[in-house]
Amino acid sequence: MVLIAAVVIFSKAVRIHLSEGEALREEGKTKFKERAVEAERGNILTEDGAVIATSVPLYDITFDPNADGLTEEIFLTNIDSLAFCLATLVDQTFTPGGFKEFLIARKEEGRRYVPIKKSATFAEQELISQFPIFRLGQFKGGFVVSAKYNRERPFGLLARRTIGYVRQDAPPVGIEGHYDSLLRGEFGKRLMMLADPKQELWIPINSFETIEPKRGDDIVTTLDVDLQATTESALLRAMNHHNAEWGTAIVMEVKTGKIRAIANLGRTDEGWWETYNYGIGQAIEPGSTFKLASMMAMLEDGLIKLDDSVFINKGRIRYYEQEMEDAYPHDLDSTSIRHAFEMSSNVGISSLVNQHYNQKQDGGGNSSKNADAFIKQLKKFRLNLPVGIDLEGEPNPLIKEAYSTEQNWSGTTLPWMSIGYELMMTPLQILTFYNAVANDGVMMRPYLVAGIQHLGEEKEIYQPVVLDQSLASRSTIRQAKELLLGAVENGTGTKLKTDLYTFAGKTGTAQVGYQRLSDRTQIKGYQASFVGYFPAEAPIYSCIVVINRPQRNGFYGADVAGPVFREIADKSFANDLELHESFNENVQEKVRQSPNLNVGERKDMAYLLKHFDLKYYGGTVSRWASLKVNEGDSLVVLTRKMEDKKVPNVVGLGLRDAVFALESQGLKVQVNGVGKVKTQSIRHGTKAKGQTVRISLN
């Protein structure tokens, strides 16, 4: 019998090899393949840990009524209960009886793929997996689950364009696109079967991957959620109020170049939408905000003093056949250079630049040396270079070369350049220049990504990058700050100032789509802008607002863009204690002199207080103590109670002491950040049962 069976098997093998093998191999190639398994995409976070983009798993659930391990007995015994659960909890368009007939019919047809629910949540998948028959698993119960990931944003449309996306048949956009190689991780592989050739539907034939997918890294951004929300809402209100074409607002941290907020809105048929990143990608003629660069060029070359007089001819001047006017009518024949800037006089600034950099030689020729000197200063300020933001789409600025015929240099180019025309810059490039002035001449590279993490562990931290250590002389930077403060206190930004704090900046009102015709200048619209920093005496943030083609309720920079800047600054001051002056400066000075140990072990605190020769009151015999400043600048040592077998209060402790205090109670610790403990995930006083306590340090 064994010999006969062996002969039969051998004969069958030979027949398959010679006559059926090729067909079976081809069928195997088409019906069974190793297919890619999507990896979980990394999160996009803020520096304080808020999640602004994450991947949520969803599940496509199918039923294989002809699974090899699903016996007829199991199917018939449990089909009524399964149909009832499905009709009641999954698809109520069926009655239990109807669902039963549907499943029996699919089984008799020999179907291997019956859709049960698409894009089920984890909770729904868990519930359905416990239904009769399904609870037996894939091979005995025909329960087949295919996981996929859906990208979600807990804060909705916040920073939509900056966060960006990755889609098939579309160029990558924003942080999602720029860092896609890190975020997407590494795909795995899994053997799958073609269940429905018509729909190209594949189902896994086993419950494990040939190659496990590797989760993507997390991207930590510099964005501040609260400041981003403030910026977007302020810009949206202005866009509605003025019915503008598009607008952008960017907030940057002065000392580091971190982009704390960036909002972009454009008009669409569905309303205002972030369809394009205007702040980074839209090159514009900056208009009057460029006048600061013209003033700084003349100051650097030692050509002017701010209290010198300049002829402004009642706000009108002619260059060749072109007439230039001031934005606001006035009767002044002359004024100080300082006041000309504060009132944003086109005539005053352009005549100064034309006088010093476009002098006539004998014979009527232009002095290329002087024109080159102006362009040289602009290049020294890096206004001809991109800032290198860590996203795609930043264009190069356009600063014309002196007397370049290829760039259409004419006799009117220099005066018009001096007031922000015949050159192109993005709002971010303009802001970077102003930020350098606020930062005492140190130009920082703007950036949006602070680091890379993987499962909570830091892989890489991106440090601030200095583009230029000294953009201009100290004297020029000091005078530039005076001009910007004066523009708000005494000039075009006067209506924006507040008694609560000081800020400095420059308004801008540029003509858009203008044409210089033989008899007149045709203007198709205006562009309102405001760029500056706050607080003026010790800048923390710089900010630019640009609103293109407002249709109603004004068009000047002070009326359209300025209020957006002011709203952002107001709410920042309301929410950020760092922007406020201390009401008890003496006490703060006392604390600065004391050791940086508000809470800690008593013996350490006593040693440091003695070392710094600081007198204090009170005392404690307990292990832990806290240091408090009372009225009159007196220092008091108080007891910090930590009860046994309870979660201790570790807020204020350094990392070493916090970990010791928690682990001594049998607790596990997860740490995020550096410095002192700011928050703990489990309230102190809770009974300690070996829980994991997450502590955030700041």
pLDDT in the model for residue 585: 46
How many whole angstroms separate alpha carbon 160 and alpha carbon 225?
Answer: 12
pLDDT of 635 higher than 90: no
**Please, what's the b/e burial string for 232-271 (b: 16 or more CB within 10 A of its CB; e: otherwise)?**
bebbbebbebbebbbbbbbbbbbebbbbbbbbbbbbeeee
Dihedral of CA atoms 560, 561, 563, 565 in degrees, nearest 10, equals: 180
Q: By the 8 A CB rule, do 568 and 530 touch? A: no
**pLDDT tens for residues 480-501?**
999 999 999 999 999 999 988 9
pLDDT of 582 higher than 70: no
Lowest mean pLDDT among 324-328, 334-338, 457-461, 590-594: 590-594
How many whole angstroms separate alpha carbon 331 and alpha carbon 92?
Answer: 79
pLDDT in the model for residue 441: 97
Average pLDDT value for residue range 604-615:
78
pLDDT in the model for residue 179: 93
Q: By the 8 A CB rule, do 542 and 532 touch? A: yes
Q: What percent of the chain has pLDDT over 70?
A: 88
How many whole angstroms separate alpha carbon 230 and alpha carbon 11?
Answer: 79
Average pLDDT value for residue range 283-305:
96
Task: Give the pLDDT band (50/70/90) at residue 595.
Answer: very low
First to last CA, the chain: 80
**Angle CA 221–387–459, to nearest 5:** 35
How many whole angstroms separate alpha carbon 544 and alpha carbon 541?
Answer: 10
Query: Of all residues in the chain, what percent are helix, strand and coil, respectively (each to 5)?
Result: 35, 25, 40
618 conformational bin, left if phi > 0, alpha if psi -120 to 50, beta if neither: left
**pLDDT tens for residues 678-695?**
888 888 888 888 888 888
* Preceding peptide of 563 cis, ω within 30°: no
Which amino acid is residue 397, in one-letter code?
Answer: P
Task: Give the pLDDT band (50/70/90) at residue 209.
Answer: low
pLDDT of 430 higher than 70: yes
Q: By the 8 A CB rule, do 286 and 420 touch? A: yes
pLDDT of 653 higher than 60: yes
| Between residues 606 and 249, the one the model is more confident about | 249
What does the block give as tokens for 345? 């006089």
- Residues facing residue 247 across a β-bridge: 265, 547
- Residues facing residue 291 across a β-bridge: none
pLDDT in the model for residue 620: 63
How many whole angstroms separate alpha carbon 14 and alpha carbon 337?
Answer: 101
Average pLDDT value for residue range 310-323:
92
Which amino acid is residue 178, in one-letter code?
Answer: H
What does the block give as tokens for 143? 């329960």
Which amino acid is residue 116, in one-letter code?
Answer: I
pLDDT in the model for residue 587: 42
pLDDT of 593 higher than 70: no
In terms of DSSP H, where are the helices of 624-689? 655-663
In a 3-state reduction of DSSP, which class is residue 588? helix
Cα 638 to Cα 567, 614, 682: the distances in Å are 42, 16, 23
How many whole angstroms separate alpha carbon 339 and alpha carbon 356?
Answer: 19
Q: Which domains does the chain have, with CATH numbers?
A: 33-221 (3.90.1310.10), 230-579 (3.40.710.10), 584-641 (no CATH), 643-698 (3.30.10.20)
Backbone angles phi, psi at 319, to 5 degrees: -115, 110
Q: What percent of the chain has pLDDT over 90?
A: 57
Q: What is the mean pLDDT of the chain?
A: 87
> Beta strand pairing status for 635-639 and 616-618?
parallel
**pLDDT tens for residues 77-110?**
999 999 999 999 999 999 999 999 999 999 999 8
How many whole angstroms separate alpha carbon 313 and alpha carbon 329?
Answer: 11
Q: If you write DSSP's letter for every residue of 553-579 in order, what string do you get?
A: S--SHHHHTHHHHHHHHHHHHHH-GGG
Lowest mean pLDDT among 23-27, 289-293, 315-319, 639-643: 23-27
Which 8-state DSSP code applies to residue 8?
H
Q: By the 8 A CB rule, do 464 and 256 touch? A: yes
Q: By the 8 A CB rule, do 282 and 276 touch? A: yes
Q: Cβ of 438: how many Cβ atoms within 10 Å?
A: 26
pLDDT in the model for residue 369: 53
pLDDT in the model for residue 368: 40
Task: Tell me which residue has tokens 């025909």.
Answer: 142
SS3 per-residue string spanning 336-393: EHHHHHHCCCHHHHHHHHHHHHCCECCCCCECHHHHHHHHHHHHHCCCCCCCCCCCCC
pLDDT of 366 higher than 50: no
pLDDT in the model for residue 594: 45
pLDDT in the model for residue 418: 97
Which 8-state DSSP code applies to residue 157?
T
Q: By the 8 A CB rule, do 572 and 579 touch? A: yes
Q: If you write DSSP's letter for every residue of 259-279 in order, what string do you get?
A: EEEEEEEEEETTEEE--S-HH
Average pLDDT value for residue range 238-256:
96
Lowest mean pLDDT among 19-23, 309-313, 332-336, 348-352: 19-23
pLDDT of 673 higher than 90: no
Number of helices (H) and strands (E), helices first, in the chain? 23, 31
Cβ-based neighbours of 486, under 8 Å, separated by 6 or more: 338, 341, 342
Task: Give the pLDDT band (50/70/90) at residue 590.
Answer: very low
424 conformational bin, left if phi > 0, alpha if psi -120 to 50, beta if neither: beta
Lowest mean pLDDT among 120-124, 371-375, 521-525: 521-525
Closest CA to 496 of 558, 570, 589, 411: 558
pLDDT in the model for residue 381: 98
In a 3-state reduction of DSSP, which class is residue 241? helix
Residue 231 Cα to chain centre, angstroms: 12
Q: By the 8 A CB rule, do 83 and 92 touch? A: no
pLDDT in the model for residue 213: 84
Query: Please, what's the largest Cα pairwise distance for the chain?
Result: 122
How many whole angstroms separate alpha carbon 55 and alpha carbon 50?
Answer: 14
Task: Tell me which residue has tokens 């009372």.
Answer: 630
Task: Give the pLDDT band (50/70/90) at residue 573.
Answer: confident
Cβ-based neighbours of 582, under 8 Å, separated by 6 or more: 588
Q: By the 8 A CB rule, do 123 and 33 touch? A: no
Q: By the 8 A CB rule, do 475 and 299 touch? A: yes
Closest CA to 165 of 147, 151, 154: 151
